[in-house]
Amino acid sequence: MIPQEVVQKVLAAAVSRGGEFAEIFVEDKKSSSAAFDDGKVEELSSGVSRGAGIRVVVGDTTGFAHTADLSEAGLMRAAEAARSVALSTNAGTRTVVVDSPKQHVLSERILIPSEVGKREKIELLQRMNQTARSTSGSIKQVSAGYGDSYRRILVANTDGVFATDEQVRTRIAVSVVAFGDTGMQTGYETSAFTMGFEMFENVDVEELATVAAKRALRKLSARPAPSGTLPVVLQGGSGGILFHEACGHGLEADHIIKDSSVYKGRVGELVASPLVTLVDDGTVGSQWGTASIDDEGKPSQRNVLIKDGVLTDYMWDGLRARKSNRSSSGNGRRQSYQHLPMVRMTNTYLLEGNESQERIIQGTKNGIYVARLGGGQVNTATGDFVFGMTEAYLIENGEITEPLRDANLIGNGPEVLKKIDAVADDFSITPGTCGKDGQSVPVGCGQPTVRITEVTIGGTANG
């Protein structure tokens, strides 16, 4: 992308007057998307983003500049701008030596989405639309969306890192609206992987559409959810977002350093049920949060955060790790070259246990079975959360019975972890988009079916 000798000159210039650390991040990204609504194509777009971000650190001050000019002169100007912000009174020169490039080459099996015709992508959305509408006459609206990206990055810094990566991601989703006596109900389903268009060799778009349609149709007969404190069983894969938001963010080192996490200073303590082992892993197959390296050039790795209920470590990016005299955990991520990296999750999940889903349900006399969680809000300083239940059912006498209307789960992340008393063997992981400080990155969220002994349900019926 940029000759190694140019990278070396730019880094040398960035620290030439007293900089302690400098980094260059180069990104070349192509993306496309399509939206299908009300039986027709509503949007068909493609884009290209290419540029570099340069970071210079002096003490506690970080200077950052980004540019779309990848010429040597353009990079030098960005380096000088970042240096001027970070510059201290220290003077002197520094020779910068970077390693030979460490490259990750895409498999020959990957079908780059930009090499696939727009017609083929639109046909996928048309098939989803037709399948969902054919499910029932109650289906009145179907929206489908497709997106892909091909991203090449180069990361080099004054610690000697020089790494490149190619990342291909493909995503498809469908939303269905059904009308009945209870009004309008919705169903949603998505599939997303860090792979190319070959994803559709294994992803059945008609099946996705059918799942979304049946989800909306079942909710037409839903009754109001109870209110009060009840046992909750989270279906495998469905509750990963709860653990991502309510627990994962509190284990990011920037929150720890800023004293804005309930988990600060608790390494070595029992913070969850002994049945809970929580992992963040950027190496999991082709999951949505997987990559060969993070956005600071650190190889992705598997990090055990909580083991058998005991807090073992936090997630670290390079900057916080340097200040704490330790190594990055491969969790430095950024939305694009225009953004600074920060501590972010990759694929965060609970490990599976030994129970079966069926036995967990049978062992729950009365409670709520949550098949799908929606968005929510979390206070990382306290762990308090509110999440929407977008598909849930009553559990009565150990059996799943009536569907429930949308309602909220209300609780506290650390308390929920302590109240998990059963973990199944049916692990599943789902894709998501994580927002933090104005930046969005792809992540995976997963867990097996788990039972929480008590959670507050914010329903409208008397529980």
The pair of structure tokens assigned to 306 is: 């909580």
- Higher pLDDT, residue 86 or 129: 129
The pair of structure tokens assigned to 139 is: 């289906």
Q: Is the model's pLDDT at 106 over the cut of 70?
A: no
Q: Given pLDDT bands bounded at 50, 70 and 90, which one contains residue 102?
A: low
Average pLDDT over residues 46-70: 93
C-beta of residue 458 within 8 angstroms of C-beta of residue 354: no
CA distances for 183 relative to 177, 193, 365, angstroms: 10, 34, 31
**Average pLDDT, rounded, for the chain:** 92
Percent of the chain scoring above 70 in pLDDT: 95
Predicted pLDDT at 59: 87
Average pLDDT over residues 274-285: 97
User: ∠314-254-376 over CA atoms, to 5°?
Assistant: 85
The superfamily CATH assigns to domain 4-221 is PmbA/TldD superfamily (3.30.2290.10)
Q: DSSP secondary-structure letter at 440? A: E
- Higher pLDDT, residue 372 or 110: 372
Average pLDDT over residues 395-408: 95
Average pLDDT over residues 245-257: 94
Q: Given pLDDT bands bounded at 50, 70 and 90, which one contains residue 97?
A: very low
> CB under 8 Å to 107, separation ≥6 — which residues?
none
Predicted pLDDT at 92: 36
d(CA 407, CA 219): 12
d(CA 32, CA 168): 12
Domain boundaries, the chain: 4-221, 226-462
